[in-house]
Amino acid sequence: MKRREFISRAGLGTISTIIGAEIVYGLNLPEDYIPLALQDPDPFKMFNKHKDMVVLNDKPWNIEAQAHLLDDAVTPNACMFIRNNGLIPKDIDAKAWTLTIDGESVTNKKTYSLADLKTKFKQYTYQLTLECGGNGRNEFNPPAKGNQWSVGAVHCANWTGVRLKDVLEDAGIESDAVYIGYHAADIHLSMDPTKEPISRGCPMSKALQDETLLAFKMNGKDIPIAHGYPLRLVAGGWPASVSGKWINRISIRNKVHDGTKMTGTAYRVPCEPVAPGEKVKDENMCIIESMPVKSLITDPKTGAIINEGNALKIRGHAWAGELEVTKMEYSIDFGATWQICKIEKPVNRLAWQHFKAEVTFPKKGYYEVWAKATDSNGVSQPMLLPGWNPKGYLNNACHRIAVKVK
Ligand SMILES: Nc1nc2c(c(=O)[nH]1)N[C@H]1C(S)=C(S)[C@@H](COP(=O)(O)O)O[C@H]1N2
Ligand SMILES: [Mo]
**Mutate which of 155, 198, 223 for ligand 1 pocket (most atoms within 8 A of beta carbon):** 198
In this model, does residue 39 exceed pLDDT 80? no
Report the predicted TM-score, pTM, of the whole model to 2 decimal places.
Answer: 0.91
Average pLDDT for residues 148-167, to the nearest whole number?
Answer: 98
What was the pLDDT predicted at 8? 55
Q: Tell which atom from ligand 1 comes closest to the C-alpha of 267.
A: 12
Extents of the domains making up the chain? 1-39, 70-287, 294-405
- Taking the centre of ligand 1 as the mean of its atom positions, its distance from the CA of residue 396, in whole angstroms, is 20
What was the pLDDT predicted at 16? 81
Whether 105 is in the pocket of ligand 1, judged by its Cβ within 6 Å, is: no
Whether 262 is in the pocket of ligand 1, judged by its Cβ within 6 Å, is: no
- Taking the centre of ligand 2 as the mean of its atom positions, its distance from the CA of residue 147, in whole angstroms, is 9
What was the pLDDT predicted at 13? 80
**Alpha-carbon gap, residue 259 to 249, rounded angstroms:** 12
In this model, does residue 9 exceed pLDDT 70? no
Percent of the chain with pLDDT over 90: 88
In this model, does residue 1 exceed pLDDT 50? no
In this model, does residue 93 exceed pLDDT 60? yes
- Taking the centre of ligand 2 as the mean of its atom positions, its distance from the CA of residue 267, in whole angstroms, is 8
In this model, does residue 104 exceed pLDDT 90? yes
CATH number of 70-287: 3.90.420.10
Q: Relative to the alpha carbon of 81, which ligand is closest?
A: 1
**Mutate which of 80, 186, 200, 243 for ligand 1 pocket (most atoms within 8 A of beta carbon):** 243
In this model, does residue 6 exceed pLDDT 80? no
Confidence of residue 402 (pLDDT cuts 50, 70, 90): very high
Average pLDDT for residues 41-63, to the nearest whole number?
Answer: 93
**Alpha-carbon gap, residue 391 to 127, rounded angstroms:** 29
Q: Relative to the alpha carbon of 241, which ligand is closest?
A: 1
Q: Tell which atom from ligand 1 comes closest to the C-alpha of 132.
A: 14
The dihedral formed by the CA atoms of 204, 202, 349 and 137, expressed in degrees to the nearest 10: 160
Q: Which amino acid is at 236?
A: G
Whether 187 is in the pocket of ligand 1, judged by its Cβ within 6 Å, is: no
- Taking the centre of ligand 2 as the mean of its atom positions, its distance from the CA of residue 335, in whole angstroms, is 30
What was the pLDDT predicted at 268? 97
Average pLDDT for residues 105-130, to the nearest whole number?
Answer: 98
Average pLDDT for residues 353-358, to the nearest whole number?
Answer: 98
- 3-class state of residue 15 by DSSP: helix
Mean per-residue pLDDT over the chain, rounded:
95
Average pLDDT for residues 83-88, to the nearest whole number?
Answer: 96
Q: Which residues contact 89 (CB under 8 A, 6 or more apart)?
A: 185, 186, 187, 246
CA distances from 303 to 138, 195, 404 (A): 20, 46, 7
Average pLDDT for residues 229-254, to the nearest whole number?
Answer: 98
For 304-319, what is each residue's pLDDT tens digit? 999 999 999 999 999 9
| Of 160, 165, 196, 193, the residue nearest 180 (C-alpha) | 165
CATH architecture of 294-405: Sandwich (2.60)
For 116-127, what is each residue's pLDDT tens digit? 999 999 999 999
Average pLDDT for residues 96-125, to the nearest whole number?
Answer: 98
Confidence of residue 32 (pLDDT cuts 50, 70, 90): confident
- Taking the centre of ligand 2 as the mean of its atom positions, its distance from the CA of residue 371, in whole angstroms, is 24
At 305, which helix (H) or strand (E)? Answer: strand 304-306
Strand-pair category, 179-184 with 232-234: unpaired
Q: Relative to the alpha carbon of 197, which ligand is closest?
A: 1
CA distances from 212 to 181, 205, 280 (A): 14, 10, 32
Q: Which residues contact 240 (CB under 8 A, 6 or more apart)?
A: 83, 130, 131, 132, 133, 153
- Taking the centre of ligand 2 as the mean of its atom positions, its distance from the CA of residue 393, in whole angstroms, is 9
